Structure 1
């Protein structure tokens, strides 16, 4: 078994744990809310098929890209899309398994069109989960590199992204037993007020800016304009890869 396959199995096993289910539920709710009113033509989620990041979105072309399965099998470090061709890109912990996270983020910036949206999820090193010895073992099992929130914001700024919203969540301690997690629900209620930047996971929404360019409304084809090119992929109606909204 390769290291990548071992990491994939580690992620699948971890997501079935009480901690994993707790984290996944928070992330799914954030993504459902964020993508519901984002419009365009082409949307892609890179990895984590257990998380249906595009299920609440209504763009006509939505794909799940994965390095081992999914609608589109590809490398996340060399995406098969033209420059400036995607309207929405979802990266759920996609940078944490990258050999070079900054390069992978730059590749995401390349394929997003001006004013395109980037949604990122990552584990927060500055949290109870980040400091807990069990989380270090979980990180090794899943092949994750934890990237701090401030570090990621600096990378996004260098790549001409504006961070429009950031949220932290999952404030309960990383207990291994479900009853213990349930007993600490009060921390999720008070965490955003008492210790807002110490949630176990962060969710960032960013917009790709191009200096000197201003888009009004949704870019569509018209006289003298052609829509951004994208690779030829099966239409959403002809496949079952992404579950229907």
Structure 2
């Protein structure tokens, strides 16, 4: 298993169209975002990275939305995603689209998200699956030309569980991972998503931050136990 942290400088993707099948990928991701937004409530939405900021969340009941990235147009907060200049427990919903694929320290990125999320805050993550057609093509490229670092969805789930998140939803899509048109390719795509989801190129995870109190809450009611110490029990025979 490869180490999560790396010293390599990775350049994040600036636009969805730079990804293979980017137009369809954006559409499918947006559909899943739209289906989950009505379940999210609060005061602040944080969209981390350029791809996340291009997702439309205007239909959400949460009015204040922040686009955060290290650069680019339409970014309201310019910052290093691994060191967010935000108050602890201040964000209700965080969206992270394909940023783990281009992060030099994904553990630190998830720790920062955990820090800024409120209790019961929601985290939505999407990323590439290395066990897929996209992952196979990336593996065949020369090492110096590889720009993304792909992590298994189950490994990402382990990281979330260690941070105390409860996974509410996990989906896989984009089985063909390419520009295909026609009913036949749509049929293959639906069959792949239904029967071999773990070979799809993209995973989509929704997790909720949980908090376990440090001091257990004890019940005030207790049964009174009879005190037998120091007493002599006398038995009488008839």
**TM-score, structure 1 length as denominator?**
0.74
1:223 maps to which residue? Answer: none
1:67 aligns with 2:70: yes
Highest Rg: 1 or 2? 2
1:43 to 1:187, Cα distance in 2 relative to 1, 3 A:
same
Secondary structure of 1:202's partner?
A: strand
- For 1:48-59, list aligned pairs within 5 A: 48-49=50-51, 51-59=54-62
2:98 to 89, 93, 97: 93
Task: State the structure with bigger RCO (CA 8 A, min sep 6), 1 or 2.
Answer: 1
1:41 maps to which residue? Answer: 43
Secondary structure of 1:31's partner?
A: helix
- Consecutive aligned runs of 4 or more in structure 1 exceeding 4 Å deviation: 135-142
> Unaligned stretches of 5+ in structure 1?
214-245
1:184 maps to which residue? Answer: 185
2:161 maps to which residue? Answer: 157
1:118 maps to which residue? Answer: 123
Cα RMSD for the two superposed structures: 2.7
* Alpha-carbon distance in structure 2 between the residues aligned to 1:122 and 1:18: 13
Residue 189 of structure 1, CA deviation: 1.6
**TM-score, structure 2 length as denominator?**
0.76
The size of the alignment, in residue pairs, is: 204
